[in-house]
């Protein structure tokens, strides 16, 4: 890549959250504790699903894949953040930044698709209970997960390759705690029209499509729940969806808010705070699925 001054850029600087020395131990403790809870909680979910034959169902199969994705999503940003806080360094190499963008987009996209697949699973379970085992057979479940992986890779790869064509000045500080694509693009010296086009098109199609699918699934679910005569039946049906729907709301409200905020480069602190929600807090909340749906 050729930056604006004709020399190859070797590294970026990450703005982080605060440079106040007294806040660094608090930030380090907060992110370390959240990261460890995320790791332990999601590993517990995966091991519990594997070891318990009663949990070998499509819903928990998707949940185990989602937990794995959440572990990887948190691991793309938090360890580097912890190292930077501990060493009081803001530096990330160019190769490290591009790699972080690729894997962050991949696992965030995978989370997106898996949440929509789980919504479809709940739709079939509640709206077509008698045909659930026929529709959600293992081959279809594996195909849905494979399709989610392929679409996530294509999205991540296209955005990452488009980033490689950009030029930057020799000293670039990203006003974020990780290499966030939207922030990085708008710091480039070269024309970013095509990058913006690809990024917003991918966000609109690959995030908007699953989101519409989730809305449709839950509209049908609500209609079916309202048609249930007994209060106990309504409560049981709603309880199988409540935790999933809460995580969907958190993920989309914060994630899409960052990428579709036209003033994202001028509100870096609010953008970083929103990113914490779907990079750290949302993966931390996923293990609650197992407790609320058992």
**What does the alpha-carbon distance between residue 23 and residue 21 come to, in Å, rounded to a whole number?**
5
What does the buried/exposed string (b/e) look like for 162-191 if buried means 16 or more CB atoms within 10 Å of the residue's CB? bbeebebeeebebbbbbbbbbbbbebbeee
Return the structure tokens found at 292: 């609320």
What integer pLDDT is reported at residue 99 of this predicted model? Answer: 95
The H or E element that residue 198 is part of is helix 193-202
Pairing state between β 91-93 and 173-174: unpaired
Q: Kindly tell me the sign of the dihedral angle through the C-alpha atoms of 204, 205, 210, 214.
A: positive
What integer pLDDT is reported at residue 153 of this predicted model? Answer: 95
Counts for the chain of helices (H) and strands (E), in that order: 12, 3
Return the structure tokens found at 269: 């602190």
Return the structure tokens found at 128: 């077509």
Q: What backbone phi and psi angles, to 5 degrees, belong to 173?
A: -110, 120
**What does the alpha-carbon distance between residue 106 and residue 225 come to, in Å, rounded to a whole number?**
34
Pairing state between β 91-93 and 11-14: antiparallel
**What does the alpha-carbon distance between residue 172 and residue 1 come to, in Å, rounded to a whole number?**
15
What integer pLDDT is reported at residue 273 of this predicted model? Answer: 59
Biggest CA–CA distance in the chain, Å, is 72
* Domains of the chain from N-terminus onward: 11-293 (1.20.1070.10)
Instruction: Please report the beta strands in the chain, taking only residues with DSSP state E, as ranges in sequence order.
Output: 11-14, 91-93, 173-174
Global pTM reads 0.85
**What does the alpha-carbon distance between residue 131 and residue 84 come to, in Å, rounded to a whole number?**
52
Return the structure tokens found at 275: 């990113």
Please classify residue 122 by burial: count the beta carbons closer than 10 Å to its beta carbon, then call 0-12 exposed, 13-18 middle and 19+ buried: buried
The distance of Cα 273 from the centroid of its chain, to the nearest Å, equals: 14
What integer pLDDT is reported at residue 3 of this predicted model? Answer: 44
Instruction: State which residues of the chain have pLDDT below 50.
Output: 1-7, 262-266, 291
What integer pLDDT is reported at residue 1 of this predicted model? Answer: 42
Question: What is the total residue count of the chain?
Answer: 294
């Amino acid at each position: 890549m050729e930056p604006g001054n004709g020399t190859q850029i070797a590294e970026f600087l990450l703005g982080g959250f605060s440079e106040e020395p007294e806040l660094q131990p608090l930030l380090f403790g907060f992110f370390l504790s959240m990261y460890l809870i995320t790791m332990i909680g999601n590993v517990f979910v995966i091991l519990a699903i594997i070891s318990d034959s009663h949990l070998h169902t499509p819903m928990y199969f998707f949940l185990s894949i989602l937990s794995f994705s959440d572990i990887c999503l948190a691991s793309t940003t938090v360890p580097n953040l912890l190292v930077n806080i501990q060493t009081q360094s803001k530096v990330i190499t160019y190769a490290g930044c591009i790699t972080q963008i690729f894997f962050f987009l991949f696992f965030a996209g995978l989370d997106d698709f898996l949440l929509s697949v789980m919504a479809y699973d709940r739709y079939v379970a509640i709206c077509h209970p008698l045909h659930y085992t026929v529709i959600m057979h293992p081959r279809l479940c594996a195909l849905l997960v494979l399709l989610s992986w392929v679409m996530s890779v294509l999205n991540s790869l296209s955005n990452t390759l488009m980033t490689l064509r950009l030029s930057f000045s020799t000293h670039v500080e990203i006003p974020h705690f990780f290499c966030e694509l939207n922030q990085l693009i708008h710091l480039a010296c070269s024309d970013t029209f095509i990058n913006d086009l690809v990024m917003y098109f991918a966000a609109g199609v690959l995030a908007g499509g699953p989101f519409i699918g989730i809305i449709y699934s839950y509209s049908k679910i609500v209609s079916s729940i309202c048609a249930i005569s007994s209060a106990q039946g309504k409560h049981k049906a709603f309880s199988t969806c409540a935790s999933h729907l809460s995580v969907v709301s958190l993920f989309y409200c914060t994630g899409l808010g960052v990428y579709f905020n036209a003033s994202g480069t001028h509100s870096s602190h609010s953008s970083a705070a929103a990113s914490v929600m779907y990079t750290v807090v949302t993966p931390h909340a996923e293990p609650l699925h197992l407790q609320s749906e058992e």
